[in-house]
């Protein structure tokens, strides 16, 4: 019995000259469904700086999509309640105290992840710090700390997790950059080390992407605009009027406006995307 589709195609053949074979040629046999493309069941994700703020939100998104979590941060007073809250929601979650600027700490987190879950599929390099100062006043030790955490820490984690991902030729790395790495603001805040490291992360994203694309690892970045957090609230308080005036969507980012992007970049939905930076800033950098 011919299908309705083939009957209607045959009916139109005489009008258009289109043959059934020609029409079928452009119809793939299997197109994954949208829930399959965004699900992360059985995937294992490390989120650095996952104890609060944007890292906590993105970790929650990955867990809601099915991933098992390893959250790391320096301080137990932030990390432990977050891990407990994730578990209370039924998510698989572990925590590890870690300073991302210390190679031995980084390797210990990757080792613990493999010991608990067997592998690392997803790495979100989110841990970050900042130091606001005019360039002429920037203390060298503060410059160094921001570089060590934001840039060297992300590289160390990509290297340690990447070595495990390379064994299976499968992995996704998401680096949390910032619009501070893409544009500067006359009004401020002025934070030379922060801006330099975030621009560096965007370059690191491209370099890791080309190094590993043919080995099954995709590397992308997210560049958020302003979102309320412990790190950003001081800058937002000083600049909210100018953020609103210069952003096409005239507000700071809301809770929930980042985790969908993180899940997208970690999931099969973005399988043909690597080396890119997705800007989530209400249009601030295009205005």
Window contacting ligand NAP (CB under 6 A); options: 16-24, 34-42, 51-59, 131-139: 51-59
Window contacting ligand NAP (CB under 6 A); options: 114-122, 126-134, 135-143, 239-247: 126-134
Q: Starting at the edge strand that comes first in sequence, how are the strands of the sheet with 122-125 ordered?
A: 93-97, 68-73, 44-48, 122-125, 171-176, 217-224, 277-280
Q: How far is the CB of 262 from ligand NAP (least distance, A)?
A: 11
How many angstroms separate the CA atoms of 182 and 203, rounded?
11
Q: Do residues 258 and 222 make contact, with C-beta atoms less than 8 angstroms apart?
A: yes
Query: Can you tell me which of 70, 109, 127, 217 binds ligand NAP, judged by CB under 6 A?
Result: 127
Residue 40's alpha-carbon distances to 67, 78, 121, in angstroms, are: 5, 26, 10
Judged by CB under 6 A, the chain residues 59 through 88 that form the site for ligand NAP are 73-75, 78
How many angstroms separate the CA atoms of 99 and 148, rounded?
10
Residue 70's alpha-carbon distances to 38, 84, 260, in angstroms, are: 20, 12, 19
Q: Considering the rule CB under 6 A, would residue 224 count as an interface residue with ligand NAP? A: yes
Q: Considering the rule CB under 6 A, would residue 230 count as an interface residue with ligand NAP? A: yes
Helical (H) or strand (E) element with 96: strand 93-97
The residue among 99 and 257 lying less far from ligand NAP, judged by its C-beta, is 99
How many angstroms separate the CA atoms of 190 and 109, rounded?
33
The residue among 198 and 218 lying less far from ligand NAP, judged by its C-beta, is 198
Cis peptide bond prior to 107, omega within 30° of 0: no
Concerning whether 117 is annotated as a catalytic residue, the answer is no
Q: What is the largest CA-CA distance in the chain?
A: 81
Cβ neighbours around 21 below 10 Å, total: 7
Number of residues that bind ligand NAP (CB under 6 A): 29
Evaluated on CA atoms 271, 272, 277, 279, the torsion sign reads negative
Q: For the window 5-44, what string marks contact with ligand NAP as x by the rule CB under 6 A?
A: ----------------------------------------
The residue among 112 and 170 lying less far from ligand NAP, judged by its C-beta, is 112
Q: Do residues 163 and 106 make contact, with C-beta atoms less than 8 angstroms apart?
A: no
The residue among 216 and 248 lying less far from ligand NAP, judged by its C-beta, is 248
Residue 232's alpha-carbon distances to 80, 168, 225, 238, in angstroms, are: 22, 37, 10, 10
The residue among 9 and 174 lying less far from ligand NAP, judged by its C-beta, is 174
The residue among 32 and 139 lying less far from ligand NAP, judged by its C-beta, is 139
Q: Considering the rule CB under 6 A, would residue 226 count as an interface residue with ligand NAP? A: yes
Window contacting ligand NAP (CB under 6 A); options: 16-24, 35-43, 47-55, 182-190: 47-55
Judged by CB under 6 A, the chain residues 134 through 163 that form the site for ligand NAP are 149
User: Which residues are catalytic, by number?
Assistant: 194
Footprint on this chain of ligand NAP (rule: CB under 6 A): 48-49, 51-55, 73-75, 78, 98-101, 126-129, 149, 176, 178, 224, 226-227, 229-232
């Amino acid at each position: 019995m011919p299908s309705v589709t083939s009957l209607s195609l045959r009916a139109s053949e005489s009008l258009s000259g289109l043959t059934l074979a020609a029409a079928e040629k452009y119809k793939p046999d299997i197109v994954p469904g949208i829930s399959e493309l965004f699900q992360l069941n059985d995937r294992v994700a490390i989120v650095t700086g996952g104890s609060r703020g944007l890292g906590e939100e993105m970790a929650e998104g990955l867990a809601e999509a099915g991933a098992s979590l390893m959250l790391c941060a320096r301080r137990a007073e932030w990390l432990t309640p977050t891990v407990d809250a994730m578990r209370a929601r039924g998510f698989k979650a572990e925590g590890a105290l870690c300073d991302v600027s210390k190679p031995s700490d980084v390797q210990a987190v990757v080792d613990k992840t493999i010991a608990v879950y067997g592998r690392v599929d997803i790495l979100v390099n989110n841990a970050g710090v900042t130091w606001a100062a005019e360039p002429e006043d920037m203390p060298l030790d503060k410059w160094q700390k921001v570089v060590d955490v934001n840039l060297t820490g992300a590289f160390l984690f990509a290297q340690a997790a990447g070595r495990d991902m390379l064994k299976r030729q499968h992995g996704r790395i998401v680096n949390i950059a910032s619009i501070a790495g893409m544009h500067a603001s006359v009004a401020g805040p002025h934070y030379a080390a922060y801006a330099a490291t975030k621009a560096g992360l965007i370059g690191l994203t491209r370099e890791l992407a080309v190094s590993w694309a043919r080995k099954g690892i995709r590397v992308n970045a997210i560049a958020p605009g302003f979102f309320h957090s412990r790190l950003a609230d001081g800058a937002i308080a000083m600049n909210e009027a100018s953020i609103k005036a210069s952003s096409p969507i005239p507000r700071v980012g809301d809770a929930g406006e980042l985790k969908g992007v993180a899940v997208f970049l970690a999931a099969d939905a973005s399988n043909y995307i690597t080396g890119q930076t997705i800007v989530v800033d209400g249009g601030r950098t295009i205005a």
